[in-house]
Amino acid sequence: MEQEGSVRLDKWLWAARFFKTRSLASAAVEAGRVQANGARAKPSRAVRPGDRLAIVGVQEQWEVTVTGLADKRGSATVARGLYEETASSVAARQQRAEQRRLWSEPAQGRAGRPTKRERRDLDRYRQG
């Protein structure tokens, strides 16, 4: 693990375990789903301790401050030491997780086509 200088943004995102592969990290940065210090960044941008990153993943969003540098992927505990998540980001992620936990699929109780009775009920509902 490096502690001086800088590391490429895509390498750091991969080492910090925000993305499974470096190519996925690079693609996310190219797509604009990663911002560095409030501005859109390129995969080759240098990341230094103190930089603020906004990362949008598949289901999650993080706002982090870089605290350490690494250009190689290590264990999850080592990766967690590379950044510090903001309090607002933690609260928002917990709220989204709670919403996902409580949300139920509307069609979960349905199986197949409506019965004759359900069809008549739907027709009555639509008419008035």
Is residue 110's pLDDT more than 80?
Answer: no
Mean pLDDT of the chain: 90
Residue-range domain boundaries for the chain: 7-104
SS (H, E, C) 26-42: HHHHHCCCEEECCEECC
Token pair 């990766």 in the structure block, residue: 79
107 φψ region: left (φ > 0), alpha (ψ -120 to 50), beta (else): alpha
The fold of the 7-104 domain, in CATH, is 3.10.290
CA-only gyration radius of the chain, Å: 22
The CB-side HSE value for 94 (13 A sphere, CA atoms) comes to 7
pLDDT number for residue 5 = 83
pTM confidence score: 0.76
The stretch 99-108 carries a mean pLDDT of: 80
